[in-house]
Structure 1
């Protein structure tokens, strides 16, 4: 089996054959050893992930000279995807927080919803913010607002953050333009617009019960969870006027608008309505790219939230530089851990365990929607990435779907079922597991009992509802 690496490192790398039972045993032992190192021995997750990644690769048959190429490929790919999003998102969130913008938004939400429904207000805001923007970037920008509400109202931090996590998980898992469901819809030939409709039909009740309500129930188990201090204490300057409500809304919505701009023209180009040489299409591919959209929003935030209110106070450039440094410093460790999680996931992918399980499920003659869901789960557990799981499961199930001649609502329901499987059973090989857990101040066990439980509940409930839609439409 050839190892799938970037062109620069993919020359003649071969994985020694291992029996199926041996691959599964290696994966189970690797995950157990990783949890033991992190939970029992208190080893830093970055070191534990890299060590176990190397040992797992060697045990699975990757050559001594090649194992680090696999680890580095997984690490660099994950960091390349995450670092810009996390970096820009952390600075944007810090600007919203230190300017008093988070306080302005918190006051507005509490006036509208009331203090008792603050978790619902945060969850609804997260639903809207999560629709076009990736989970990691959107959650990091929302986090200072969650911090502010939690500090103001008191009580467990879990009460405010878990419902929002459920909102981001549901949107990220089920709805285009997020990459997993979009890729699955594309490879299976489903209409993306129909997938969006079915995803929302299935996803909104799923979010309310398996995200919001379950989040509140889980929060009761952690009545004394403090608000983390990851981004530092907020020292608001009482002499500086707070930004206006609509200024904050503009800064937060700007990346969403730019991303939607890109989505719109990408759809028009794919349908032939505009050509590749269209000026707006080419512009959208630049400014609508998520990292660039966040960069643009962050630059606007620097001026509107920090520089403009402090004009006439002498040199403020140095203070802004310190603010950016303080925002970036805490996330460096998180980026490294996230990259190491990607390396571990890549090593597990190269063992072929996900593909082996998927082939077995596909051969059992299960209903196509159930087979797609289980195949997605297999890839999710094996390699960690929800996007890869949805894309790969969609590719595997595409021939069976084509043979059945499915289309319209039925096909969209299968895509949603596959996307639902891709969000279940998040664990230590999922970069999002580490990213969200660390930003929330959770230890590994707490992340498993909250993030992983909510994601799995969302996946199974969304699948059940998608199967009902499929049964009615097929």
Structure 2
């Protein structure tokens, strides 16, 4: 459902959004109500108070709950099964040992982040994070300390690439709205993503990891086992095999992107083979193919077929709560989006008369805070500022895309489904997630804006 006209004035709509977030955090952190129940309850009450027609409320809630599940449930389930097999057979340990051997123990978080930047080029945030989970957990278990030291660099790398670099949908849509060059956005965005990640994520993760201890969660991959107790074959799989299994979804998704780009440009004509590449390069299908390849190459190391079935069955159990909470987080964000709260904020900011680059950042940030989705904030903000982008140079248009990307990244909180994924994957409560993930997303987005300002000045 499209956003409705705001039922009340901008100050009232802002108070409704703020009150909803405060009540939600109070229910979860003080009353200790389960996050899923709290999110559903607050979504319902917010829809009523914000003026969404009563008859439409169930449809709005179910629509956004279902759409979030549709994008998350398959990825999380397939990714966790793949990760569990890699973990049990020693594949994740092989990857971790190789990374540490190349970069050294002290640079393990840097190695994870750099690898995630590379994997994050074609793979969306949630899919990349799920695939990387067993590697993050294995490295964290080996060296100890707070899991934040290893989780934040990798998760932040996927977030940076998803927000800035084509072919991800947000920056592509923003560049299209502003009539900026996709190629220049891509080439410049790689540098902006790297700088923003290093300063806004990697350096901050070292600071937070040294001060906030988050133990390695046993939720997804079981208890820590030493070498003598480890499951699977005594000899771990070859590094080349494990790396190939992780690169396979990246390759398939990249093929999808290339074929789609060539079709759009008219370079090639639609045929059976283009449709095939588009199908197998869809993220859920690519992960399914990778999972089946993992079963074929590593399944015998787990044991019999019954053992393998039991293993993946056990892997799916703990993620049910994660999937439901993430879907409810998407529902809450969708209710806020439909209520028109984002439009109230952007309308107020658009009349302030501040410089275009800062206006773009603030409008995107307002949309991000109001409704949660970074991609929606990015694409909507680009459309709103496009009217004022006439006469800008190519480089300034690209800088505008990055400013919007920065605003759409900051202040991830309880109406963002990604907030709940990170919280549950790494075993953090809501307060800790706000102190770590929310802060990191804000420093990352701020660095994007700083980079955009530098590019704007040059352009």
Bin the TM-score by the shorter chain: over 0.9
> Given that residues 15 and 61 in structure 1 are in contact (C-alpha distance below 8 angstroms), is that contact kept between their aligned partners in structure 2?
no
Tell me by how many angstroms 1:16 deviates.
Answer: 7.6
8 Å CA contact 1:265, 1:280 repeated in 2: no
Q: Which residue of 1 aligns with 2:337?
A: 349
What is the aligned partner in structure 1 of residue 436 from structure 2?
450
Q: Which residue of 1 aligns with 2:127?
A: 137
Q: Alpha-carbon deviation of 1:242?
A: 1.3
Counterparts of residues 31-110 of structure 1 (less than 5 Å): 31-110=21-100
Aligned partner (choices 120, 130, 135) of residue 110 of structure 2: 120
Which shifted more, 297-306 or 356-365? 356-365
Structure 2 CA distance for aligned equivalents of residues 119 and 381 of structure 1 = 29
Contact 1:206–1:461 (CA under 8 A) maintained in structure 2: yes
Matching residue of 1:228: 217
CA separation in 1, counterparts of 2:357 and 2:74? 36
1 CA distance for matches of 2:77 and 2:284? 9
* 2:450 corresponds to: 464
- Measured against aligned partners, the alpha-carbon deviations of 1:393-443 in whole angstroms (never above 9, x if no partner) come to 111122222xx2335222111111111111111110000000111000000
Instruction: Measure, in 2, the Cα distance between the counterparts of 1:298 and 1:183.
Output: 31
How far is the alpha carbon of 1:64 from its aligned partner?
2.7
- CA–CA distance in 2 between the matches of 1:333 and 1:196? 37
Indicate the SS of the match to 1:445: helix
Verify the 8 A CA contact 2:333 2:372 in the aligned structure 1.
yes
When normalised by structure 1's length, the TM-score is: 0.92
Matches within 5 A, 1:7-22: 17-22=7-12
SS at match of 2:317: helix
1:397 paired with 2:364, answer no
> Following the alignment from structure 1 to structure 2, what is the Cα–Cα distance between the partners of residues 296 and 255?
8
Q: Which residue of 1 aligns with 2:368?
A: 380
SS in 1 for 2:216: coil
Q: 1:211 to 1:455 in 2, by over 3 A?
A: same
Deviations 1:238-282 (A, max 9, x none): 64431110001100000001111111111111211112x233321
Q: Check conservation: 1:165, 1:211, Cα contact below 8 A.
A: no
Selected match of 2:254 from 242, 260, 264: 260
Rounded Cα–Cα distance in structure 2 between residues aligned with 1:407 and 1:81: 36
Partners of 1:239 and 1:306 in 2: CA distance? 10
Match of 2:296 in 1: 303
Change (3 A) 1:128 1:16: closer
Is the CA contact 2:6–2:344 (under 8 Å) kept in the aligned structure 1? Answer: no
| Equivalent residue number for residue 11 of structure 1 | none
Gaps of 5+ in 2: none
SS at match of 2:361: helix
**Structure 1 residues 65 and 149, CA gap change in structure 2 (3 angstroms):** same
Any conservation in 2 of the 1:105–1:245 contact (CA below 8 Å)? yes
The CA distance in 1 between the partners of 2:438 and 2:132, in whole Å, is: 20
Q: Deviations over 1:21-48 (max 9, x none)?
A: 2111111111000000011111111000
Residue aligning to 2:319: 331
- How do 1:152-231 residues align onto structure 2 when only pairs under 5 Å count? 152-223=142-213, 225-231=214-220
CA distance in 1, matches of 2:322, 2:21: 20
- Number of residues of Structure 1 aligned to a counterpart in Structure 2: 454
Q: Quick check: 1:162–1:212 contact (8 Å CA) kept in 2? A: yes
Partner of 1:278: 271
The 1:239/1:85 distance shift into structure 2, 3 A limit, reads closer
C-alpha offsets along residues 136-182 of structure 1, whole Å, 9 cap, x if unaligned?
Answer: 11111111111111111122222221222221221122112222112
Distance in 1 (alpha carbons) for counterparts of 2:430 and 2:33: 12
8 Å CA contact 1:136–1:436 kept in 2: the answer is: no
In structure 2, C-alpha distance between the alignment counterparts of 1:329 and 1:269, rounded to whole Å:
41
